[in-house]
Amino acid sequence: MNPTSAPPTDLPALLARIALRERAAFEPLYRATCAHLLGVAFRILNDRDRAEEVLQEAFMNVWQNAASYRPDVAAPMTWLINIVRNKAIDALRSGKTERASTTALDDEAMAVAGDPALEPQRLLDDGLTKARIDGCMAALNASQRQALALAYYRGMVHTDIALALNAPVGTAKAWVRRGLDKLKDCLVAAGVGA
């Protein structure tokens, strides 16, 4: 990318326009950041529906508090990620509070066999696998990561991905195809998969 060319989405400018209640600035901000922010919420909550709810609450917060964004304190994505992260942690805590206030089960209900997926070695192996997958995802370029996230986390088809990323359909297809190829090669090299 040419260092003198402007980024495709000027997040600080969009946030400044949103602070002035300019509705037209909200959609480009959402489109540019929603996939990444949904991933942040999902990693914390590990529940797609709850992550989407948190993302919606976070964007409502952005709309209401965009005037509080200070570019000299944090980059736009850092500010947005902090909002989503805090909302997700609050949701996680409220879920724990809800579970703590439920009635205890009797001994018969507690006699259920342990879940092998929760055994320490399995949890460690799963954590290492996730770290390898995250590393392989980080090795993709931003366009490929976004295209794959939209395809797999949002269930979007190529035409929807192209529209969301403001790119031709052929380019979106290439990002998905090349991203999958690079991801597969990296995962095989990392020893992940069958």
> What local confidence, expressed as pLDDT, does residue 3 receive?
40
* % residues pLDDT > 90 (the chain): 42
Tokens of 49: 């529906």
Q: CB-based contacts of 77: which residues, under 8 Å, 6+ apart?
A: 11, 33, 36
Span 145-153, average pLDDT:
85
pLDDT (0 to 100) of residue 175: 92
Q: What is the pLDDT of residue 193?
A: 67
The per-residue pLDDT for 71 is 86
Identify the band that residue 15 occupies on the pLDDT scale cut at 50, 70 and 90: very high
Q: How much is the average pLDDT of 175-190?
A: 89
- pLDDT of residue 103 exceeding 70, the answer is no
Average pLDDT over residues 57-61: 94
- For residues 187 and 136, is the Cβ–Cβ distance under 8 A? yes
* Whether residue 110 has pLDDT greater than 60: no
Burial of 24: CB neighbours in 10 Å, binned 0-12, 13-18, 19+: exposed
**Residue 29 pLDDT more than 50?**
yes
- How far CA 172 is from CA of 55, 92, 99, 138, 167, in Å, comes to 24, 34, 43, 18, 6
The C-alpha atoms of residue 149 and residue 146 are separated, in whole angstroms, by 5
| Confidence bin at 123 (pLDDT 50/70/90) | confident
Q: To the nearest whole number, what is the mean pLDDT of the chain?
A: 82
Confidence of residue 129 (pLDDT cuts 50, 70, 90): confident
Higher pLDDT residue, 57 or 103? Answer: 57
What ranges in the chain are assigned the alpha helix state H? 11-19, 26-45, 48-65, 76-100, 107-110, 120-139, 142-153, 158-164, 169-190
